[in-house]
Amino acid sequence: MDTVSISKFKATCLARLEKVKRTGQPLLITRRGEPIAEVVSPSPAKAVSGWLGSLQSTGRIVGDIVAPATEAADWEALRS
């Protein structure tokens, strides 16, 4: 584990954070020799499942899906 004083960390913050990300080795930041923070690389992100296909196998077909929902005699457009 690398150790660095807070003043040096402040001056080289971005480079040190990039090194932690690249190597995975933690960094201990100290003030007057006492540890005040530890920088570690993040844990791997969980794979987020997409919304496509999220409702797969949740529906049910009840009855005839091709026939009209009502009888033809009930349609106003067919009445003369």
The answer to whether residue 63 sits within a structural domain is no
The answer to whether residue 12 sits within a structural domain is yes
Copy the structure tokens of residue 64.
């005839």
Copy the structure tokens of residue 65.
């899906």
The answer to whether residue 31 sits within a structural domain is yes
User: What tens digit of pLDDT does each residue of 25-76 get?
Assistant: 999 999 999 999 999 998 888 877 788 888 888 888 888 888 877 887 888 8
The answer to whether residue 7 sits within a structural domain is yes
Q: What is the pLDDT of residue 31?
A: 96
Between CA 2 and CA 16 the distance in angstroms is 10
The answer to whether residue 23 sits within a structural domain is yes
The answer to whether residue 59 sits within a structural domain is no
Q: What is the pLDDT of residue 36?
A: 97
The answer to whether residue 60 sits within a structural domain is no
Q: What is the CATH number of the domain that holds 23?
A: 3.40.1620
Residue 28 lies in domain: 2-39
pTM above 0.85, yes or no: no
End-to-end CA distance of the chain: 88
The answer to whether residue 70 sits within a structural domain is no
- 75/16: higher pLDDT: 16
**Number of separate domains in the chain:** 1
